[in-house]
C-alpha cells in the first residue's frame, strides 16, 4: 500500500498564494464588469417634440374600367369580316365587324326608288293644284275641283315624307351591317369569326371594348369605419387623394382622386362603396385587379411622434420607453400609443415635449442609473446592443455594458 508523503512547507505556501491570486483576479474582473469604463455609459437620445401626423387609411379595392361597351349586333346577318386586332386599342366609331349587307343595300335602293316616284307624283300634284287655283279665280272650274286638287297635293306631300322616312330607315339598317365601336378603348377577344350568323340584340356579346384610362377603383368601407373616420376628421384637414398598392406589394406611381361616395349602406354587407378615378396612361392597371387604396383622410396636428426603436413592450404587452430624467438618471415611462405613422409611433400619454428619449444604447441603460446622454447617431455602438423591443440579454452576455 502506497504511503502518503508529507508536503514540504514551501509547497504549501505556494499553493496558498496561487489560490489567493486567483480569487483576487476573479474579484477584479467582477468589479470591472459591474462598473462601466469611463463612468456613466453613453446613450443616444432624441428630444421629444410635436409634429403633424397624416391620418392614412388602407382599404381594399377592385379596379374596373371607367367605361365598358359590350358589342352586340342590331341587325341579323352573317359576319363576313372582322375588322380589328384582338387586344388592340380602338377609337370611337372604328369599324369592328362587317355583316353581309346585300339585302340591306337592296332595301335601300328600293326605298330610294319609291321616294323618287312619290316626288314625281308630288310635282304633278303641285302643278295641277296651282293650275286649278288659277282657273277657280276665273270661274272656269268649280270650287270642288279646286279643293280636290289641293287635297291631292297634300296627299302627295305626305307620301313623299313617308318614302323619305323609309329610305332613312333602310340607310340605318344598312349602316348597322357595319358594327362600330361606340367608345374608344381596348378591345377584348372576339366571340365570333367570319361566317357566323348573328341576330339582332342577341344576349351573347361579340366582343367588349373597355376604356382603361382612367381606371375606376371601387373601395368598400364598413359603415362603422365610416363613422369612426368622421369622428377622427373632426377639426382636421384632409383631401381626396389616394395611392394604390398593387398585388405584388409595389406602389402605383400616379395618385388617384375620390370622385363619389355611396349614399346608402348595403343591407347585406353593411358597407359603403367609395369610388376613385386613377390615371392609367401606360395600361399597367387592368380591370379586376385587387388593390389596397391608401387614403390620406386627414392630418393630426401638433402630436407627439417618436421613433419606433425607442419604444419596447413589457411582458404584459404595455408600451414602455426609457428617458433621461433629472441628474441624467434613467426613468422608465409607460406609454399610450394610438397608431403607427411610418417608422414612428404616435404617443398620446407618457411623454411630453422636451423629454430625452433613449433610442441608442438601450442595453447600457438601467432605470435609476446615471447615463451620459448624447445626440442620437453620435453615441458609439457597443457590442451586444440590440434594438428596442428585443428581449434583454443576461448581464453576463452584455459584453461591454
8 Å CB contact between 384 and 36: no
The pLDDT mean for the chain works out to: 82
Q: For residue 226, which of 54, 59, 53 has the smallest C-alpha distance?
A: 59
Contact at 8 Å (CB) between 177 and 101?
yes
Checking if the pLDDT of 3 tops 90, the result is no
Q: Is the pLDDT of residue 292 over 70?
A: yes
pLDDT in tens, 185-232: 999 999 999 999 999 989 999 999 999 999 999 887 777 766 666 665
Whether pTM exceeds 0.75: no
- φ/ψ of residue 309, rounded to 5: -70, -10
Specify the pLDDT at position 233.
53
Asked if the model's pLDDT at residue 299 lies above 80, the reply is: no
Question: Does the pLDDT of residue 379 top 50, yes or no?
Answer: no
pLDDT score of 263:
58
CATH code matching the domain that covers 73-100+177-204, chosen among 3.40.640.10, 2.60.40.1730, 3.20.20.70, 2.40.50.100: 2.40.50.100
Nearest residue to 291 (alpha-carbon basis) of 219, 240, 341, 211: 219
Structure confidence at residue 339 (pLDDT): 81
More confident residue, 237 or 177: 177
Is 39-53+302-375 a CATH 2.130.10.10 domain?
no
Cβ atoms of 350 and 335 closer than 8 Å? yes
**Is residue 152 predicted with pLDDT exceeding 90?**
yes
CATH code at 56-66+213-299: 2.40.30.170
Cis peptide, bond prior to residue 214, ω within 30 of zero: yes
Instruction: Give the separation between CA 96 and CA 59, rounded to whole angstroms.
Output: 39
Confidence of residue 394 (pLDDT cuts 50, 70, 90): very low
Cell of 59: 382599404
Q: Which of 91-105, 152-166, 268-282, 342-356 has the lowest average pLDDT?
A: 268-282
Please tell me the predicted confidence (pLDDT) of residue 75: 95
Cell numbers standing for residue 153: 297635293
What is the DSSP track for 338-376? Answer: EEEETTEEEEEES--TT-EEEEE-GGG--TTSB-EEEET
Q: How far apart are CA 281 and CA 212, in angstroms?
A: 8
Give me the percent of the chain exceeding a pLDDT of 90.
57
Per residue in 382-393, pLDDT (tens digit) is 544 544 444 333
Most confident range, picked from 198-212, 240-254, 265-279 = 198-212
Smallest Cα–Cα separation from 312: which of 261, 276, 250, 365?
Answer: 365
Q: Where are the domains positioned within the chain? A: 39-53+302-375, 56-66+213-299, 73-100+177-204, 101-175
Q: Which three cell numbers stand for residue 22?
A: 486567483
Q: How confident is the model at residue 380 (pLDDT cuts 50, 70, 90)?
A: low
- Alpha-carbon span 61 to 257, nearest angstrom: 14
Decide: 51 and 305 in contact? Cβ < 8 Å: yes
**Quick one: pLDDT at residue 268?**
73
> Which pLDDT score, from 0 to 100, does residue 59 have?
82
Helix (H) or strand (E) holding 282: none
295 within 8 A of 59, measured Cβ to Cβ: yes
Highest mean pLDDT among 256-265, 271-280, 366-375: 366-375
CATH 1.10.287.470 fits 101-175, yes or no: yes
- From the list 319, 332, 362, 389, the residue with the least C-alpha distance to 44 is 362
Give just the sign of the alpha carbon dihedral 126, 127, 133, 136: negative
255 to each of 214, 272, 276, 285, how far by Cα in Å?
11, 22, 10, 13
Phi, psi of 94 (to 5 degrees): -70, 135
At residue 273 the predicted structure's pLDDT band, cuts being 50, 70 and 90, is confident
Q: Which one-letter DSSP state was computed for residue 251?
A: B
Is the pLDDT higher at 359 or at 340? 359
Q: What percent of the chain has pLDDT over 70?
A: 79
Top-ranked range on mean pLDDT: pick from 122-136, 211-225, 289-303: 122-136
Instruction: For the chain, give the number of residues.
Output: 401
Q: Specify the DSSP element, H or E, that contains 176.
A: helix 143-176
List beta partners, residue 240: none
Alpha-carbon torsion (392, 383, 323, 49), positive or negative: negative
Report the distance separating Cα 383 and Cα 360, nearest Å: 12
What does DSSP say about strands 77-82 and 89-90: parallel, antiparallel, or unpaired?
Answer: unpaired
pLDDT at 33: 40
Give the pLDDT score at 114.
Answer: 96
The highest-confidence range among 226-230, 338-342, 366-370, by mean pLDDT, is 366-370
Which of 38-47, 67-76, 184-193 comes out lowest in average pLDDT? 38-47
Across residues 3-21, what is the average pLDDT? 47
Amino acid at each position: 500500500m502506497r504511503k502518503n508523503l508529507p508536503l514540504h512547507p514551501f509547497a504549501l505556501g505556494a499553493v496558498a498564494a496561487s489560490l489567493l491570486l486567483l480569487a483576487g483576479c476573479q474579484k477584479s474582473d467582477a468589479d470591472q464588469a459591474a462598473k462601466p469604463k469611463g463612468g456613466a455609459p453613453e446613450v443616444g437620445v432624441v428630444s421629444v417634440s410635436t409634429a403633424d401626423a397624416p391620418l392614412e387609411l388602407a382599404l381594399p379595392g377592385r379596379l374596373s374600367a371607367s367605361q365598358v361597351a359590350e358589342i352586340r349586333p342590331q341587325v341579323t346577318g352573317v359576319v363576313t369580316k372582322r375588322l380589328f386586332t384582338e387586344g388592340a386599342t380602338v377609337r370611337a366609331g372604328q369599324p369592328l365587324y362587317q355583316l353581309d349587307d346585300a339585302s340591306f343595300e337592296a332595301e335601300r335602293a328600293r326605298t330610294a326608288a319609291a321616294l323618287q316616284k312619290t316626288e314625281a307624283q308630288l310635282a304633278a300634284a303641285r302643278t295641277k293644284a296651282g293650275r286649278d287655283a288659277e282657273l277657280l279665280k276665273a270661274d272656269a272650274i268649280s270650287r270642288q275641283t279646286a279643293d280636290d286638287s289641293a287635297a291631292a297635293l297634300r296627299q302627295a306631300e305626305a307620301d313623299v315624307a313617308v318614302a323619305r322616312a323609309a329610305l332613312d330607315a333602310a340607310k340605318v339598317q344598312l349602316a348597322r351591317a357595319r358594327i362600330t365601336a361606340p367608345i374608344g378603348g381596348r378591345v377584348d377577344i372576339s366571340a365570333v369569326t367570319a361566317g357566323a350568323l348573328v341576330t339582332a340584340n342577341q344576349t351573347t356579346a361579340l366582343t367588349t371594348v373597355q376604356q382603361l384610362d382612367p381606371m375606376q377603383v371601387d373601395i368598400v368601407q364598413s359603415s362603422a369605419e365610416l363613422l369612426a373616420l368622421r369622428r377622427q376628421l373632426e377639426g382636421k384637414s384632409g383631401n381626396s387623394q389616394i395611392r394604390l398598392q398593387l398585388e405584388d406589394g409595389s406602389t402605383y406611381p400616379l395618385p388617384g382622386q375620390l370622385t363619389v361616395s355611396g349614399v346608402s349602406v348595403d343591407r347585406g354587407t353593411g358597407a359603403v362603396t367609395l369610388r376613385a378615378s386613377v390615371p392609367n396612361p401606360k395600361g399597367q392597371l387592368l380591370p379586376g385587379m385587387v388593390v389596397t387604396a391608401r387614403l390620406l383622410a386627414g392630418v393630426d396636428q401638433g402630436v407627439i411622434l417618436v421613433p419606433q426603436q425607442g419604444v419596447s413592450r413589457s411582458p404584459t404587452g404595455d408600451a414602455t420607453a426609457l428617458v433621461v430624467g433629472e441628474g441624467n438618471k434613467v426613468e422608465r415611462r409607460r406609454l399610450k400609443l394610438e397608431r403607427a405613422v411610418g417608422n414612428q409611433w404616435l404617443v398620446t400619454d407618457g411623454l411630453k415635449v422636451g423629454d430625452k428619449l433613449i433610442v441608442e444604447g438601450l442595453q447600457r441603460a438601467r432605470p435609476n442609473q446615471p447615463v451620459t446622454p448624447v445626440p442620437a447617431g453620435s453615441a458609439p455602438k457597443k457590442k451586444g446592443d440590440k434594438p428596442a423591443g428585443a428581449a434583454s440579454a443576461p448581464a453576463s452576455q452584455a459584453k461591454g455594458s
